[in-house]
A and B are shown apart, each in its own frame.
Chain A
Amino acid sequence: MGNTISSRRRVINAVMLSLSGLCTLLVIGVLFFILGYLMFHGLKSLNLAFFTKLPKPAGETGGGMANAIVGSGKIILLATCIGVPIGFLAGVFLAEYSGKTFAFLIRYTVDLLNGVPSIVIGIFAYAMVVKPMKHFSALAGGVALGIMMIPIAVRTTEEFLRAVPNPLREGAMALGATKARTIFTIVIPAAISGLTSGMMLNLARVAGETAPLLFTALGNMFWSRGWSQPTATLPVMIYNYAISPDEDLHQQAWAAGFVLLTLVLVINVTARLVINRGPAAARR
């Protein structure tokens, strides 16, 4: 009888193992399928013009998305300038200064903010920036994405600062350093690689956001000067081209999708390299 039990166990084990292995393959497969599919469709229409030319008027073929690439860059830069400093300093406060109860409240609020649908943040930026200024702008788009970056910036900062061992703080303070001095000369430098990569992943995450840009930055078929004009971005361009009936525009959308994904992957990989090179890694 013992024999039948153990053979049953072996069968169950084999079934479960192959099932979980299959699911793992599926998980990896999804990324490579998306990547391959985008490459297949996108590479065809990816050429120098795509990076250097403006979009052509409807009906004409050719043209590129130079304005959208620059626009995306501008808006992400602005979002980083808004989201990272606010989130970083709030994270420093959360990790180093706040008491238990207050920290719990902040953390909870930040998690709620993180859960706010991106389209709602778009509406908020629309009401706060677009309405008063009376037109769509890169500024509004940057504000929307900047708000989206805050929660992750707060939590990454908190997490990486908390990971810095306490004896380092004590060592600095035992030499007569003030708490603020300790944080800025010992704790943050010790966590810098983690912080940098965290912020890069944060940036990569909002780079592909479309919904909050639809009614903030809107879009533009031409170059937009400064920060107060409607501005083209890659994700919105993909959206607009993909729903148009023109086959040539579909091709361009694929190419833009491929460029966007490549950009995000490059940022991701760089972030991982940064974290593996830092002083924290050397100590492990």
Chain B
Amino acid sequence: MNPALIGSPSQPVTLSDAKLSAKDLSFYYGTFQALYNISLSIAPHKITAFIGPSGCGKSTFLRTMNRMNEILRNTRVEGELTLDGQDLLAMDVTTVRRRVGMVFQKSNPFPKSIFDNVAYGLRVNGMHKRSVVEEAVERSLTHAALWTEVKDKLNKPATALSGGQQQRLCIARALAVEPEVLLLDEPCSALDPIATLKIEELLFEIKSLTTIVIVTHNMQQAARLADYTGFFFMGKLVEFDDTRVMFQNPHKKETEDYITGRFG
């Protein structure tokens, strides 16, 4: 434990070299306000975790960061969101999604072969050269700790893989387009502990490649994985700090109550 961190709000909110940064971000589903003035910065090549009870807005915030929420009708964003200092909300949406990848709660492999799943993002982004695609597929599957398991059955349907393998395939698929940020929305909630551990290990490994933001219901997972943790409650970011501070010496009563299991 770093004593310098305890008690001193070492808010990563003010990071100058932030990868992603939100300022006074609010989000509405129709007339319902799901996020209230969120301000925070995501540090590059770190793992940032969001915790909080169901329906508190952490997934909504995640899906705002790659503008996935725009698919839904009747939604509205207010405030600022920047990627490397550029206005993310004004960028071309397909560019945003290529630069900010996403892995979903339930694995969603396309009903195609394993190879075509991983190659999909490359092809969508205009890369058709066979050798380049093959190389990227192998590299991505290796990063996702899946290569040795599937290298002999790349043409088999992806839907035939186990749940944990499917989720790692989805991670490989996202990594193939070399995103600068990887968003993960409760990626292990449908997996057993061994599959979960594998994913946590690989996330640790790929920190060097990309910036990771993960939403999780599992507080141990946040404590194990994350460099920074944010606690969301009722659409507000209650506290955001170094993970050790959050779990050992939270500044806010709500954070402490949630972490110690008094509500949520």
Contacts and interface: CB of A to CB of B under 8 A. Distances in A.
A186 interface: yes
A99 B73 contact: yes
Contact of B159 (A167, A186, A189, A279): A279
Given A99-B73, A282-B157, A282-B159, A175 B177 contact: yes
B68 A176 contact: no
A174 B110 contact: no
Contact of B124 (A165, A167, A172): A172
B108 A170 contact: yes
Contact of A176 (B73, B124, B160): B124
Interface string B19-56: 00000000000000000000000000000000000000
A176 B177 contact: yes
B110 A177 contact: no
Given A172-B124, A181-B124, A190 B97 contact: no
B121 A176 contact: yes
B110 A168 contact: yes
Contact of B108 (A167, A178, A181): A167
A174 B111 contact: no
Interface stretch (B78-86, B98-106, B147-155): B98-106
Interface string B222-259: 00000000000000000000000000000000000000
Contacts of B141: none
B114 to A, nearest CB: 14
A118 to B, nearest CB: 37
Interface residues of A, number: 23
B110 A176 contact: no
A185 B177 CA distance: 17
Given A175-B121, A176-B94, A178-B94, A189 B112 contact: yes
B124 A174 contact: no
A110 interface: no
Contacts of B189: none
B162 to A, nearest CB: 14
A225 interface: no
Nearest to A192: B111
B75 interface: no
Contacts, number: 74
Q: Decide if the interface of chain A is mainly helix, strand, loop or mixed.
A: helix
A170 B124 contact: no
Interface in A171-197: 171-178, 181, 185-186, 189-190
A25 B204 CA distance: 64
A167 B106 CA distance: 8
A170 to B, nearest CB: 6
B125 interface: yes
Interface string A118-135: 000000000000000000
A175 B104 contact: no
A170 B66 CA distance: 11
Interface in A151-181: 165, 167-178, 181
A282 B156 CA distance: 12
A7 B102 CA distance: 64
A283 interface: yes
A170 B68 contact: yes
B188 interface: no
Interface centre among B73, B121, B170 (most CB of A within 10 A): B121
Contacts of A165: 108
Interface string A244-284: 00000000000000000000000000000000000110110
Contacts of B157: 279, 282
Contacts of B173: 171, 175
A196 to B, nearest CB: 15
26 contacts: A168-B108, A170-B68, A170-B102, A171-B104, A171-B170, A171-B173, A172-B120, A172-B124, A173-B68, A173-B97, A174-B97, A174-B101, A174-B104, A175-B98, A175-B121, A175-B124, A175-B173, A175-B174, A176-B121, A177-B121, A181-B124, A185-B120, A189-B111, A279-B157, A282-B111, A282-B160
Given A172-B110, A174-B66, A176-B124, 8 more contacts: A170-B104, A172-B120, A174-B102, A175-B173, A176-B94, A177-B120, A186-B110, A279-B159
Closest CB pairs A-B (n = 9) = A176-B98, A175-B121, A279-B111, A167-B108, A174-B102, A171-B108, A177-B124, A176-B94, A176-B97
Interface of A: 99, 165, 167-178, 181, 185-186, 189-190, 279-280, 282-283
Interface of B: 66, 68, 71, 73, 94-95, 97-98, 101-102, 104, 106, 108-112, 120-121, 124-125, 157, 159-160, 170, 173-174, 177
